[in-house]
């Protein structure tokens, strides 16, 4: 069964902490994405990557960075977590040329105190 | 600017009733359009997609959607709701190799 796996379902962090959210896909997909989901706002794209070591800013990249050292792994980094980054974070992947056909992980719910 | 608008953050229907979830898009050219479903505590799952081959698109679990260029709409329908359809539904539009999502509609199904 093909999968996108996010390392943590629930995290609680303190303001100012560095936070790593890990995502691994086993489908050999070129594209990987990080979204945040907030009630009433839908999904907003933070960063995406279409190849190893490549990254592109999405609509809300401020306060975030990403890393893609291997094709199957895409990490989201919050250098200094703030309370307004409390959210659900969703990782997704897709084949090159099929960016609309996303496979999602189950999400990581981050609470920043 | 390109955007996706979903009318109604919550829709409530009785089991067995018609489901209609509305989606309108704004784009200078006809886009590819998608519906995704999110069941509680899960990620999103692709329900169906429009890629210009046919205006009426059938998806999983008995859902379908019709692309209407004149109305810039892509509404999602199902003839008869099941309790298992209770979830949040997202309409999305393909834009420069990424998706723009609507704000979502939560479907409630009453027994």
Q: State the sign of the Cα–Cα–Cα–Cα dihedral B68, B71, B75, B77.
A: negative
Per-residue pLDDT of B31-83, as tens digits, reads 899 999 999 888 899 999 998 778 899 999 999 999 999 999 999 999 999 99
pLDDT of residue A1: 64
Phi then psi for residue A65, to 5 deg, are -140, 170
What distance lies between CA A5 and its chain's CA centroid?
A: 11
Per-residue pLDDT of A51-91, as tens digits, reads 998 999 999 999 999 999 999 999 999 999 999 999 999 99
pLDDT of residue A2: 66
Residues of chain B with Cβ-Cβ distance to A4 below 8 Å are: 43
Measured CA distances, B1 to B27, B34, B100 (Å):
7, 18, 11
Q: How far apart are CA B109 and CA B92, in angstroms?
A: 23
Q: State the sign of the Cα–Cα–Cα–Cα dihedral A86, A90, B40, B63.
A: positive
Per-residue pLDDT of A19-60, as tens digits, reads 999 999 999 999 999 999 998 888 999 999 999 989 999 999
Q: Do B9 and A102 touch (CB under 8 A)?
A: no
Distance from CA of B20 to the nearest CA of A (A): 19
């Amino acid at each position: 069964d093909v999968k996108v796996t996010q390392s943590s379902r629930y995290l609680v962090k303190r303001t100012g902490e560095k936070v790593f959210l890990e995502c691994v896909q086993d489908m050999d997909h070129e594209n990987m994405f990080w979204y945040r989901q907030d009630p009433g706002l839908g999904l907003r794209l933070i960063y995406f990557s279409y190849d190893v070591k490549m990254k592109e800013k999405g609509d809300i990249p401020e306060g975030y960075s990403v890393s893609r050292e291997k094709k199957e792994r895409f990490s989201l980094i919050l250098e200094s977590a703030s309370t307004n980054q409390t959210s659900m974070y969703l990782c997704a992947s897709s084949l090159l040329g099929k960016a609309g056909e996303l496979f999602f992980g189950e999400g990581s719910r981050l609470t920043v105190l | 600017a390109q955007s996706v608008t979903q009318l109604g953050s919550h829709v409530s229907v009785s089991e067995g009733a018609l489901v209609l979830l509305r989606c309108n898009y704004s784009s200078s050219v006809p886009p590819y359009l998608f519906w995704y479903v999110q069941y509680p505590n899960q990620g999103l799952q692709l329900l169906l997609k429009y890629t210009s081959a046919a205006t009426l698109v059938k998806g999983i679990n008995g859902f379908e959607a019709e692309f209407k260029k004149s109305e810039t709409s892509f509404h999602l329908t199902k003839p008869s709701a099941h309790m298992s359809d209770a979830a949040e539904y997202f309409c999305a539009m393909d834009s420069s190799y990424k998706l723009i999502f609507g704000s979502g509609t939560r479907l409630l199904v009453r027994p």
